[in-house]
Structure 1
Amino acid sequence: MTEQVRRRPGGCERPLNEAYDTALLDLDGVVYAGGAALAHAVDSLVTARDAGMHLAYVTNNAARTPQTVADQLTGFGLPTGAADVITSAQAVARLISEQVPPGARVLAIGGEGLRVALRERGLVPVESADDDPAAVAQGYDPAMDWGRLAEAAYAVQRGVPWFASNTDLTIPKERGIAPGNGALVEVVRTAAGGTPQVAGKPQPPMHRETVLRTGAERPLVIGDRLDTDIEGACNGGVDSLLVLTGVTTAAELLTATPPHRPTYVDADLRGLLTAQPAVEPAGEGFGCGGWHAAADGGTLTLDGAGEPLDGLRALCAAAWTAAGGGSCTADASGALKRLGLSGLSGR
């Protein structure tokens, strides 16, 4: 389980897929980017599954149905059923259903995944603020146009309760980082004011939805974002693995505040199949592998040699310990450059 204030990455003597019964995997930036599987993702997950680990895919992307996501993963060579996919659309639909009458109309501002999730909870998706909706549900849709955002704004201005599947400001795509649902939520907020109830990671409704649907007893959250995946794991009191294949950079990891500090750090999903090295106190700093890191005044220093990820783990310990309950402000540029990371993600 997570510490109240984590000051260094954890170690694990067993491969992670043996130490945990269920992997709760983010998708964008972890398994794939846009329409392409990330390097090592499929082979690693197939190996973990064949060894007995349950794989569940937990995504803040509300645009697509679980079956559509499962079909894509199956097409990558990773056989997946719809029941193995949990979306923020499902979480927000449950949240809405607990606050409106059965069969209520809901203005659905999002993709087919949101509409299917609302119907699953017995709600009726509608298209206009003039359809007398009992709630507004806003989720990511890559085909979103001005008219849909305007309908949401009209309804919110009239006092209709507003719900958002998630508020991720960005989403990884093949060509780079694109605006996410959170950016579109801000468009509606600018026009209409107010604040939506949010269901997706890192909020508790998403964790509750995941537990209800997977029955996981020893879950490991795996993600690429500190402010959704890792914070969501922290909020749920479960361990986490950050992979550097998506949004988070090495430099951002070093400045993470306690809710955003992962249990484990690795380059990609191959880390799921390996033990995690311990980071130990050493002199005035911390050691991992052949590296020694310390906070020296306003600078993070790094000495030694070895695997770059071990150096990063040692730097995390030095930075998080120096920061305590805050964010490390020490200059890490020289240390990261030595590791060949220089603030870049692994993708």
Structure 2
Amino acid sequence: MQFQLNEEQRQIQALAEQFSRNEIQPRAAAADRAAAFPMEVQEQAVALGLVNTTLPESLGGQGLGSLELVLITEALCRGCLGIGTALCINALASEPILIAGNDAQKEEYLGRIAQGALASFALTEPAAGSDVAGIRTRAERVAGGYRLSGGKIWISNATLAEFFVVFAKTDPDLGYKGMTAFIVPADSPGLTVGEPLSKLGQKAAPTAEVFFDQVFVPDSLRLGEEGSGFTLAMKVFDRSRPMVAAFGVGLIQRCMDEALAYASQRESMGKTLMGHQAIAHRLADMRVRLEAARLLAYQAAWRLDNGQTNTIEASMAKLYAADAAMWAATETVQIFGGMGYSTEYPAEKLFRDAKVLQIYEGTSEIQRNIIARELSI
């Protein structure tokens, strides 16, 4: 079993780390205060080839694998989880088209993403978060296509998206078997994007509600067959959860950076905080959880790249990285003490950014359900 990256992967990782250190981290605090995504960072990341990396070369991408995506994501989110999320989440919108799109859909919409367009994955609804099968957005068959009615919430990059991948019920009586996915351009008549939602953390990553008022979608923009939407969404999550686990790995690494630096210079009772066993043990535990989360994310990505099923591995990686990130952020605030509660230091932002990792892309409870279901008895 090999645990070493190849030369190309090391170069990709080094480039992403340098970009994160030089371009993302210096903007993190201001972007968080303004609750605004710095679009110049998106443009720079596109120019350097740090986003949309899994798109095939024939469509303007780099044809890289899930492991390379995880390496890049970890590095970008180390600089700022909000900015890093907004940069990387395009992969979530591209995956359904990669999996189920026809040649024309791939050429048009993945080609636009490769050129720098942002897109959104629109599944979650006010009454259907963890219960994916419970969505109520309706797609009614009409001449030449469908009419979409309903609404989505907590849609990442919705205010910046050029198009949406929308999941709707084509036959509500069939439950999850009646769900279908569509590509919906943002300028479609009847589609409205709400104002950015006010959030606890990851404020630089815009999220909003999206409303559909009899939005016409032609047959040519349906993804796959009618009724295939739920299966498609589950396939997407197997591919996206290693990336989301890397969100958590990047945040844990940043917690490690900040907590270790502070504990090495802050003095108390005649010695540095690192000289106190209680603090040193916290940092030792943080390092252990960092490496465990990282290895789980890498394993889930590696299995995907090698054509192996990764459902349970992806859920384990997402679950562990999210819970470990929340723990690490809490411990970082504690190590900083009173200063950890101050907005002058990054600890409180790390704490706020971490929490939603346990909620989106399948809550920690849902991940445990998936793992339990996949266990061999």
Q: Do these two structures clear the TM 0.5 threshold for a shared fold by scoring above it? A: no
- Normalised to the residue count of structure 1, the TM-score between the two structures is 0.29
Q: What is the TM-score normalised by the length of structure 2?
A: 0.28
Higher helix share: 2
In terms of fraction of residues, the more strand-rich structure is 1
Q: Which has the higher contact order (CA 8 A, sep 6+)?
A: 1
